[in-house]
Structure 1
Amino acid sequence: MNFEPYPFEKLNDLLQNIIPNADYEPSVLTIGEPQFDTPEFIQESLANNAYLLKKYPKTGGEEVLRDAIRGFVKSRFDVEIDNSELIPTFGTREVLFNFPQFLLSDKSESVMAYTNPFYQIYEGAAIATNSKVIHLNLNADNNFKPEIDEEKLATCDLVILNFPNNPTNSMLSVEEMAQWVKLALKHDFVLMNDECYSEIYTDKKVPSILEASKLAGNDSFKNVLVINSISKRSSAPGLRSGFIAGDKEILKEYMKYRTYVGCASPLPLQYAAATAWSDEEHVSASREIYKNNFVIAKEILGTEIPEATFYIWLKVDNALEFTKKLFEKYNVKVLPGEFLARENFNGENPGVGYVRIALVENEEKTRDALNRIKECLGE
């Protein structure tokens, strides 16, 4: 298998011969990793349940974790799911890589479609399954929303959406997602929405594909799946707690597959994750921090405050040159957009001319870094 280097590897190569300006403290705004301590009550739960390391965890997850996730889905999206419609997972990255292998294993000429730019694990799964790829290109002309081409979608086995979107911070309304649900039923493809940023919204709550499925009259979630994670929500990427929910017929067989994968979460992590999924107060506090960072960005860079995520998708003349200049003169790292996307059939990469900025620091560090970026843009 010939996998592409990860965007961060490409960034390291781009900057490897550059010595950054030592007059500035380093500022790394490349990775979507919250730079805040995991809340104390979650850490305490982990410590208090460390004694459970002596036990093997269940592949399907403990009931305490399942109940917490189902409670989260109910309280957050007003959607009831039962145990047959849910699998707790070891984060979502492993699901995004192994679920396509499970789903497409008996397809001789499988076809995957996913948003472009994208989280690179989507591409890794396509390579691992030897699937043909259809890129759903996101650009300014389509307001960073995937265009619908039914002729192409009719050939798909799996379509992966990612809204709220990384890296463009665009959103789909529940009505727009319901349209995709109807297409999944019409053309019989599996539709998955990666909702890992659903809880990092700035004003109104953002919808889930599960709500859209209900709106479309698809109460059984046929062909519809959602994945979500605690990483951004609770500043706890190290807990590796996620879930996949939706079509119980698909999940029944996927659960069998997972017993062979060996990715069960350790019990102390499951109990700590259950504690985190069950609490909303700490998430509200984090949202205020991220929203304030967007307010600062609007003040300094003039960027609009998006509906969700903690990313700025900043337009620049030449992303590669800007990234090198910013690092060399101002000791700030950002990620060129072309590293997060691939060329379309016209040879156009929708990430060209953009950099992704992750606003995951506190107010002081965020303001300092954005002022440096502004200076660099003004040169």
Structure 2
Amino acid sequence: MTNARLDELTDYPFQRLRNLLDGTEGGGPMLNFALGEPQMGPPTLLTEGLASDTAGWGKYPPANSTPELRGAIADWLDRRYGLTGDAAMDPESEIMPLNGTREGLFQIANLVVPAVRAATRPLVLVPNPFYQCYMGAAVMAGAEVGLMPAIADNGFLPDLEALDRETLHRAVLMYVCTPANPQGSMADEAYLEKALEIARANNIVLALDECYAEIYDETPPPGGLQIAAATPERFANLVVFHSLSKRSSAPGLRSGFMAGDRDLVARFGKLRSFGGAPLPNPVAAASTALWRDEAHVEGIRAHYRRLFDIADETLGNRRGYFRPAGGFFLWLDVGDGEAFAKKLWEASGVRVLPGGYLARDEAAGNPGQPFVRVALVHDEATVRKALTAIAALME
């Protein structure tokens, strides 16, 4: 017996890429620019932190991790977003460390999706294109996926003004990613204020995926917590998600957190008690050290800026190129992303991800179809080599 909801999901984008390219010979040694996996290597703080609590491997971790980690996260949020006085974060009730941010982004749907909303199937709103976890979470929680086009005309962010009354009446959860994966677009304060206003007016949970918030080009992106903290409702209807995978170049640590609405944080802890996986104590120790340090993050951010400088030099005169405001992806308009990805692989051995694999078809077509996503996560020489191969195939 199987769960029919799983059949609603298409293959994950990387499986679709394997289906496209496997069996076809690449034009050189494989250079994988499809996967957003930082290759810089972790800072020494990570290994030192793990070693500081080897005894922790012999203990079951608390469901909400250690007070040291929650305190470090609260302090970082206060510093990063200027949360002082009554606005400061409460590490005991407003923060939940996660075993990888994907855990929280997926489980939030299980937490908030009811069986029925407005006498019909509930709706979970996702940007289109989107991080595939959002769709999987919505479908497996029993909701219908409502697509919010995030196209160039909207600055690659969902057009909040286009959400009609019926849609908002059915919606229970809205995902927004800023800086966005895959486009690198950044929501400003006015946009976040509008999103929060819509969520509260319609009793929708706003899930802000801010995992790329520390990888930015010029201006640090504003965050949902700083917007909400200035309102009488504080963090009601809001949860934000952050990760050490990008900020600290530590994807294998599987460490992040959710923060915001006290009721949702408490309910998440209850859900995890039955089927979750808290952070191992040594991982919590390493994470504590990383959240308390900014020097290594500044070095990582400078590295990505150099990579975007290389992109400017290599692709700057090509139609379809723009330098994103945040994140570490290029979102290149190449006309037909799938055809381009296959041609690039055959010509050079460089793998990129067709943008259509990150989106769903709408009445106007698939908004990701003309694009490829290029993950700038390698060293400078490798990035230059791959982008030179890409440039040779672009107009």
Classify the TM-score, shorter chain.
over 0.9
> Which residue in 1 is equivalent to 2:31?
27
Cα deviation, 1:81-127, whole Å, max 9, x if unaligned, reads 10211111111111122221121245462210011111111111111
Q: Paired residue for 1:256, among 270, 273, 276? A: 270
Mapping 1:179-198, distance limit 5 Å: 179-198=194-213
Contact 2:307–2:380 (CA under 8 A) maintained in structure 1: yes
Contact 1:77–1:211 (CA under 8 A) maintained in structure 2: yes
> Which residue in 2 is equivalent to 1:133?
145
Cα deviation, 1:140-189, whole Å, max 9, x if unaligned, reads 12221211214122321111111110001111101210111111111111
> Which residue in 2 is equivalent to 1:154?
169
Q: Distance in 1 between matches of 2:26 and 2:96?
A: 45
Q: Distance in 2 between matches of 1:49 and 1:165?
A: 35
- 1:72 is the counterpart of 2:76: yes
> Which residue in 1 is equivalent to 2:15?
9
Cα deviation, 1:188-210, whole Å, max 9, x if unaligned, reads 11111000000001111111111
Q: In structure 2, give the amino acid aligned to 1:52.
A: G
User: Aligned with 1:314: secondary structure?
Assistant: strand
User: Aligned with 1:225: secondary structure?
Assistant: strand
Q: Which segments of 5 or more consecutive residues in structure 1 lack a partner in the other structure?
A: none
- 1:44 is the counterpart of 2:48: yes
Q: In structure 2, give the amino acid aligned to 1:129.
A: A
Q: Distance in 2 between matches of 1:219 and 1:371?
A: 51
Contact 1:174–1:211 (CA under 8 A) maintained in structure 2: no
TM-score under structure 2 length normalisation = 0.92
Q: Distance in 2 between matches of 1:153 and 1:213?
A: 20
| TM-fit CA distance, 1:21 | 1.6
User: Aligned with 2:314: secondary structure?
Assistant: helix
Q: Distance in 1 between matches of 2:294 and 2:206?
A: 28
Contact 1:57–1:265 (CA under 8 A) maintained in structure 2: yes
> Which residue in 2 is equivalent to 1:334?
352
Identity %: 36
> Which residue in 1 is equivalent to 2:378?
361
Q: Which segments of 5 or more consecutive residues in structure 2 lack a partner in the other structure?
A: 1-5
> Which residue in 2 is equivalent to 1:343?
361
Q: Paired residue for 2:279, among 265, 289, 314? A: 265
> Which residue in 2 is equivalent to 1:81?
89
Contact 2:115–2:142 (CA under 8 A) maintained in structure 1: no
TM-score under structure 1 length normalisation = 0.96
Contact 2:139–2:145 (CA under 8 A) maintained in structure 1: no
User: Aligned with 1:232: secondary structure?
Assistant: helix
Q: Distance in 2 between matches of 1:189 and 1:367?
A: 44
Q: Distance in 1 between matches of 2:43 and 2:173?
A: 36
> Which residue in 2 is equivalent to 1:231?
245
Mapping 1:93-108, distance limit 5 Å: 93-107=102-116
> Which consecutive segments of 4 or more residues in structure 1 shift more than 3 A?
105-108
- 1:307 is the counterpart of 2:325: yes
Q: Paired residue for 2:340, among 322, 337, 341? A: 322
Q: Distance in 2 between matches of 1:376 and 1:304?
A: 16
Q: Distance in 1 between matches of 2:45 and 2:172?
A: 42
Q: In structure 2, give the amino acid aligned to 1:341.
A: A
| TM-fit CA distance, 1:218 | 4.3
Contact 2:354–2:373 (CA under 8 A) maintained in structure 1: yes
Contact 1:230–1:237 (CA under 8 A) maintained in structure 2: yes
Superposed CA RMSD in Å reads 1.4
Q: Distance in 1 between matches of 2:140 and 2:379?
A: 38
Aligned pair count reads 374
Greater CA drift, 103-112 or 334-343? 103-112
Q: Distance in 1 between matches of 2:335 and 2:204?
A: 38
